[in-house]
Amino acid sequence: MTSGAGPEPDQAFVDFLRKVHSEHRWEKERKPLRWWAFSLMVLLCLPPVLLLGLCLAFGVETVLKAVLFAQDGRQAEAAVLWVRNGRPMVEFVAHDGQSLVAWAEGRHRHDPAHTVDVLYLSGAPGAAVVAGHRWNFWPLLPVALAPVLTWWWACHHRAGFRAGWFVRRARVHVQGLPGRPRPVAPLLVFAVFAGTSAVAVLGGSVLALTLLSPAEVLEKQLSFLLIPVPVLLAAALLALVRAAYRYAEDHPVRRLPRPFPLLPKRSIRFLAALVAAVVLVSVPVFWREPLSDPVAGTAELLETRFSGGSHRNWAYLDIGYEVDGLYFEDTVEVSRSTAEELGVRGTVPVVWEASDPVDVRLREDG
């Protein structure tokens, strides 16, 4: 161990540095990152960040709908004309006497009278929701967890920003003075540009919400403008981290940084195992229970769609069937051989729940 400046490190300092140094290797002869390596890093990081952007867009859209219908929604009794994939098409008379037809958001609840209470917006004739519909806000969960997990990783993990900053600050006390400095300004300019772009998108979306009517907000789907926001913020954050690392490498402090508590070395494996366990436990929640009061019937085959092309082993059948005078359309998944057999017949043997005809399945004895 050699000291290029400052006091001689004690054994506790050396032991801590040895723990985190393997995750933040530094070489005096630094080589530039090859273009293919950088491209690979971008490709690996882009999908999860884009997925986060989609979650943000869907979550914000759900919140906007819930707020608009709660504040401005008017209730009316509607006649159910048709049901597609569990969503009813309804006809109702608005408060001004106008007859409206719309696809109502929410799951159809079967009623022999084929009526349902809906909420509608006076300024948006094509927007309606089944009364009592429970909005699904789960897309906002990963959006809320992302900052927490990022902070947890950056501050307490061996490969996080805090550990990397510590290694680069302490390097001068162990490996001597730095070599040729690398520029920081381009990274800062890029970070400012990306961060400003994200703020501009957010500001534009908020401004649009204040200027547009509820009907225009729902029609234009402005929430999907938020998809690039996580991408821009992630790019700005990575550029800032890289700039901070370069600054720490070329401007090390003259005093020893204080060690800080680290998470266990296998914490990431534990987190991955925990996520896998949650997924396995959640599988039965989505498992379709047997029908309690099945009703057998025959559905018309409307269309056959093969998953990923005709060479795949699974297919989706778009079917239509009638229950108590009401027409339903839905989709069932079958094997390729079954799809080809049913395609020749033109009909599909099905079974549905007596109290909930939306829950339709392929009849095994057909």
Q: What is the pLDDT of residues 49-91, one digit of tens each?
A: 999 999 999 999 899 889 888 888 889 999 999 999 989 999 9
Same domain, 38 and 117: yes
Assigned domain for 6 exists: no
Percentage with pLDDT > 70 across the chain:
75
| Structural domain boundaries, residue 246 | 11-31+157-276
CA distance 35 to 211: 44
Asked if the structure places residue 329 within a domain, the reply is: yes
Tell me the C-alpha distance between 251 and 14, whole Å.
Answer: 20
pLDDT of residue 20: 64
Whether 346 maps to a domain, the answer reads: yes
Residues 73 and 212 in one domain: no
- Range of lowest pLDDT (15-19, 45-49, 105-109, 126-130): 15-19
Q: Which of 276, 309, 343 is a domain's end point? A: 276
**pLDDT tens per residue, range 121-169:** 887 777 899 998 999 898 898 899 889 888 888 887 777 788 888 777 7
Same domain, 272 and 163: yes
115 within some domain: yes
Q: Which 8-state DSSP code applies to residue 320?
A: E
pLDDT category of residue 95 using cuts at 50, 70 and 90 = confident
Question: pLDDT value at position 242?
Answer: 86
SS3 180: coil
pLDDT tens, residue by residue, 310-350: 556 788 889 999 998 899 999 988 888 888 888 777 888 98
- Residue 213 backbone dihedrals phi, psi, to 5 degrees: -80, 165
Domain assignment present for 100: yes
The enclosing H or E element of 198 equals helix 185-211
Residue 220 has pLDDT above 80, yes or no: no
pTM of the model: 0.73
pLDDT band at 253 (very low <50, low <70, confident <90, very high): low
Answer yes or no: do 39 and 134 share one domain. yes
Same structural domain for residues 27 and 162?
Answer: yes
Is the per-residue pLDDT at 250 higher than 80?
no
Neighbours of 95 (CB within 10 A): 10
The Cα 223–Cα 293 span in angstroms is 41
Residue count (the chain): 366
Among residues 276, 302, 333, the one where a domain terminates is 276
Query: Which of 224, 246, 276 delimits the end of a domain?
Result: 276
Structural domains of the chain, count? 3
Query: Do the domain assignments include residue 318?
Result: yes
The answer as to whether 246 is a domain residue is yes
Which segments of 22-117 does DSSP mark as H helices, in order? Answer: 35-72
Task: Identify which of 231, 220, 225, 221 has the alpha carbon closest to the alpha carbon of residue 202.
Answer: 225
- Separation of alpha carbons 14 and 3, rounded Å: 12
